[in-house]
Amino acid sequence: MSRRKKCDVIVVGAGPVGLVAGLALQKKGISSVVMEAEPFGRERPGSRAIYLHSATLKLLEETATGLGFTLARNGIIWPVKRTLYKGKEVYVRNYGPTNNKDSHKLPHFTALHQDEIEKYIYEECVEAGVQFSWDSPVEKLVIEDNGVVLTTKSGEEWEAKYIIGCDGARSVVREQAGIKLEGPRTNDTFLVVDVKEDEENPLPLERIFHYQHPAMGGRNVMFVPFKGGWRVDLQLLESDNPEEFSTINGVRKWLPKVMDSKYADRITWVSTYRFHQVVANSLTDEKRRILLAGEAAHLFAPFGARGLNSGVPDALLAVKGIETAIRANSEDERAQAIDEVANERRIAALWNRDGSSTALHHLQGNAPDMNMKRELAASLVSVIPRLGRWLDEGPYGPKFGPPELTTKY
């Protein structure tokens, strides 16, 4: 008798994308398990996905009634965004009073720690009865015509019709399926620091972006509030030694130059990044038994918050494709159902990569044409206010270029 366990779909990885996939499968009544390498209750690093767009909240609300509203209610909305160039304000927008407590309308966005996001999605999973296998690192996949045999590090074997690989940047599922990530890595180093808010005397909720902060020797600095804390992004110069800035003592030296010194004792996470701008060459394998979702499928710089916001639709569409494939009447129909979702999400990933590449190009200090455009835009803001908006949108990937400048140069 076979000791292999069986189900229709195995989700590999219980990060936020895997949780969403597990939840959607369970809601559709498709037999599934979520396998996670780490033990239950593990610590997760840093705030990371602190910005969820309304489109993501809507998708989550449709997946599990109440989930979108729970995330909205437990996050914050910053009503003001401000951009400064070499210390001079070039753009400010105040959206006025905000309301994230409305139980009838989802807000424009919500901002909370990724740990919290995962906690609320996990609670929905538990309520829906999603099956988890913690402490089960997946090591090997044998992909056959009729399904996949998966082996964990402890030698446990599982058989499934489909696998959704949500196992993040170093995805074993991707590697076992022979799929490659394609694209460049940035040269610039970014430092990401989380600090805990002082709830008795909090800062105003404003997202503030400084081009060439005068107190930081001309380095770019961004402040983004989220529920209970702040994320401070510092873009290092090419000549900087990242270690000097990124040790706790290093951060304690520079942080008080840009924030009240009390925040130097409130640091909860420091990390340095050189971002990958990569997309898998396919989101499915040759036999159409694997689908990749989230960071297993693509990695982008976080400017524009495209990571988890695109991981959620990846997961939901993967589930939809598998649902159609399970009901298909022929092999062609089945393969087509998988291909369609894989292609759709790859196109989205490429589009997102272009968006964050535009943002990076806008931010990078080593592009002479962009340096000149930014400098000129900042100097002309008082006569052409919309250049301020162009500067403000830079860190997200501007939707339009500054036509006045393009015609001049």
Ligand X SMILES: Cc1cc2nc3c(=O)[nH]c(=O)nc-3n(C[C@H](O)[C@H](O)[C@H](O)COP(=O)(O)OP(=O)(O)OC[C@H]3O[C@@H](n4cnc5c(N)ncnc54)[C@H](O)[C@@H]3O)c2cc1C
- Which 10-39 residues touch ligand X, going by CB under 6 A? 12-18, 35-38
- Give the nearest distance from C-beta 258 to ligand X in angstroms: 18
Decide: is 107 part of the binding site for ligand X (CB under 6 A).
no
User: Does residue 147 belong to the site contacting ligand X (CB under 6 A)?
Assistant: no
State the minimum distance, in angstroms, from the CB of residue 277 to ligand X: 13
For residue 206, the surrounding DSSP H or E stretch is strand 206-213
Looking at residue 295, the DSSP 8-state letter turns out to be G
164 is a contact residue toward ligand X (CB under 6 A): no
* Phi and psi angles of residue 219, each rounded to the nearest 5 degrees, phi first: -85, 150
Whether the CA torsion 87, 93, 97, 99 is positive or negative: it is negative
Instruction: Name the token pair of 58.
Output: 């809507």
271-310 b/e (C-beta count within 10 Å ≥ 16 → b) = eeeebbbbbbebbbbeebbbbbbbbbbbbbbbbbbbbbbb
**389 contacts: CB under 8 Å, gap ≥ 6:** 91
CA 200 to chain centre: 30
123 vs 404, beta carbon nearer ligand X: 123
Q: Where are the alpha helices (DSSP H) in 234-367?
A: 242-246, 248-254, 307-327, 331-363
Closer residue to ligand X in complex, CB, 216/234: 234
Q: Which of 49, 106, 150, 278 binds ligand X (CB under 6 A)?
A: 49
Out of 282, 309, 352, 358, point to the residue binding ligand X (CB under 6 A). Answer: 309
Interaction of residue 75 with ligand X, rule CB under 6 A: no
What is the DSSP track for 109-172?
EEE--HHHHHHHHHHHHHHHT--EE-S--EEEEEE-SS-EEEEETT--EEEEEEEEE---TT-H
State the minimum distance, in angstroms, from the CB of residue 297 to ligand X: 8
- Taking contact as CB under 6 A, which single stretch among the options 200-208, 276-284, 308-316, 382-390 is the one that binds ligand X? 308-316
For residue 47, give every residue at least 6 positions away whose Cβ sits within 8 Å of its Cβ, in sequence order, or none: 113, 114, 115, 194, 226, 229, 231, 269
Which one of 161-169, 254-262, 277-285, 346-354 is the stretch in contact with ligand X (CB under 6 A)? 161-169
Kindly state the smallest distance separating residue 114's Cβ from ligand X, in Å.
6
Shortest CA distance to 161 belongs to which of 173, 150, 176? 150
Which lies closer to ligand X via its Cβ, residue 13 or residue 394? 13
Compute the least distance from the CB of residue 87 to ligand X, in Å. Answer: 25
In terms of CB distance, is 70 or 387 closer to ligand X?
70
For residues 38 and 404, which CB has a smaller minimum distance to ligand X in the complex? 38
In the bound state with ligand X, the residue whose beta carbon lies nearer, of 138 and 222, is 138
Nearest distance in Å: CB 18, ligand X = 5
Q: CA quadruple 315, 321, 325, 327: dihedral positive or negative?
A: positive
Nearest approach, Cβ of residue 328 and ligand X (Å): 27
Q: Which residues inside 212-271 make contact with ligand X, applying CB under 6 A?
A: none
Binding segment for ligand X (CB under 6 A), chosen from 7-15, 249-257, 359-367, 368-376, is 7-15
Q: Return the residue nearest ligand X (CB atom).
A: 15
Which lies closer to ligand X via its Cβ, residue 262 or residue 274? 274
- DSSP secondary structure code for residue 266 in this structure: -
Q: How far are the Cα atoms of 27, 268, 345 from residue 321, in angstroms, in the given order?
A: 15, 40, 11
d(Cα 215, Cα 119) in Å, to the nearest integer? 38
- Tell me the C-alpha to C-alpha distance, in Å, between residue 278 and each of 176, 350, 357: 18, 8, 10
Closest approach of ligand X to the CB of residue 183, in Å: 15
For ligand X, the binding residue among 61, 124, 167, 197 (CB under 6 A) is: 167
Binding mask 178-217 for ligand X (x = CB under 6 A): --------------x-------------------------
The number of residues that bind ligand X (CB under 6 A) is: 31
Contact residue for ligand X among 10, 33, 138, 208 (CB under 6 A): 138
The binding site for ligand X (CB under 6 A) comprises 12-18, 35-38, 48-51, 114, 137-138, 166-168, 172, 192, 294-295, 302, 305, 307-309, 311
